[in-house]
Amino acid sequence: MRIDVVTIFPEYLEPLNVSLLGKARARGLLDVRLHDLRSWTHDRHHTVDDTPYGGGPGMVMKPEPWGEALDALLAGDRPEADPVVVVPTPSGRPFTQELAVELAGAPWLVFTPARYEGIDRRVIEEYGARLDVREVSIGDYVLAGGEAPVLVMVEAVARLLPGVLGNAESHRDDSFAPGAMAALLEGPVYTKPPEWRGRAVPEVLVSGHHGRIARWRRDEALRRTTLNRPELIEGCEPEAFDKHDRET
Ligand code: SAM
């Protein structure tokens, strides 16, 4: 997968070289290219922002550098298919595991993390008229810039790419993963030693009985979801639950 990020702080994205993502890049599974938006400015101060029309506090990112940057990416050394352009903004649609799965199917993603009060609206309109442009929020809070949301989204997407996780099954039972645990949070997990500070691992997990273990995991997932995110349970169709689930 090819990922381009246009930002005024390319150094903010350095964690993309670390751990899982760093390995995926080194192995050629992920081709990440960082671009400094200021390289598409033409004044002495490399200005990317200006005062908002209509007044008010804060500054707005000027459309010209973004237009030049996106045009350059679209005209340059690029994948054949057009990119999905992801615009991080608190006013976007929520970023979910479902969206991560969808984006992981795209060959090319372009991220446009903003600063200040965001990007001049005309940029989103201009590219939205000819490309798949998604305005996406990572949560109901406001950060100073879109770089941290890009790190969040790239990591969530990249770990779904074939070959990125050591064990391809690892994300099968994750919270929110499609399948038997759909819409549920993952339950608690344990490793060795079998007893730590007087606390034993639940007996069922060392029983070797796969059916009982699967049932226990689902029960725990249901319990945790009911406690922490009851709205996820309420959003499920009744047939998503078996008789045992309802008793849990
Ligand atoms: N005035 C904007 C608003 O209230 O919607 C907030 C602008 S914020 C200070 C600057 C930039 O940070 C945004 O344009 C976006 O790129 C990024 N950002 C902040 N919070 C975000 C969130 N929850 N999800 C995605 N991006 C976010």
pLDDT in tens, 87-109: 999 999 999 999 999 999 999 99
Read off the pLDDT of residues 51-73 as tens digits, 9 standing for 90 and up: 999 999 999 999 999 999 999 99
Average pLDDT over every residue of 189-211: 98
With 80 as the cut, is the pLDDT of residue 248 above it? no
Specify the residue with its C-alpha closest to ligand 1, atom 6: 117
Which residue carries 């005024």 as its tokens? 8
Please return the burial class of 103, using the count of CB atoms within 10 Å of its CB with bins 0-12, 13-18 and 19+: buried
CB 112 within 8 Å of CB 6: yes
Q: Which residue has the higher pLDDT, 180 or 30?
A: 30
Please return the burial class of 198, using the count of CB atoms within 10 Å of its CB with bins 0-12, 13-18 and 19+: exposed
- The pTM of the full predicted model, rounded to 2 decimals, is 0.94
Lowest average pLDDT, out of 12-21, 188-197, 230-239, goes to 230-239
Average pLDDT over every residue of 194-204: 98
pLDDT of residue 181: 64
Specify the residue with its C-alpha closest to ligand 1, atom 24: 137
Please return the burial class of 76, using the count of CB atoms within 10 Å of its CB with bins 0-12, 13-18 and 19+: exposed
Is 91 strand, coil or helix? strand
With 60 as the cut, is the pLDDT of residue 217 above it? yes
Average pLDDT over every residue of 188-215: 97
Q: How many CA atoms lie within 13 A of 175 on its CB side?
A: 17
Average pLDDT over every residue of 3-15: 97
The verdict on ipTM greater than 0.95 is yes
Which residues participate in catalysis according to the annotation? 90, 117, 159, 174
Predicted confidence band at 242 (pLDDT cuts at 50, 70, 90)? confident
Provide the CATH number for the domain formed by 172-248 in this structure: 1.10.1270.20
Lowest average pLDDT, out of 2-11, 108-117, 159-168, 207-216, goes to 159-168
Give the CATH class of 2-158. alpha beta
Supply the mean pLDDT for the chain. 95
CB 8 within 8 Å of CB 65: no
What gap in Å lies between CA 70 and CA 130, rounded to an integer? 12
With 70 as the cut, is the pLDDT of residue 179 above it? no
187 lines ligand 1 (CB under 6 A): no
Specify the residue with its C-alpha closest to ligand 1, atom 7: 117
CB 179 within 8 Å of CB 172: yes
With 90 as the cut, is the pLDDT of residue 85 above it? yes
Which residue ranges make up each domain of the chain?
Answer: 2-158, 172-248
pLDDT of residue 173: 76
- Among 95, 136, 143, 147, residue to substitute to test ligand 1 (most atoms within 8 Å of Cβ): 143
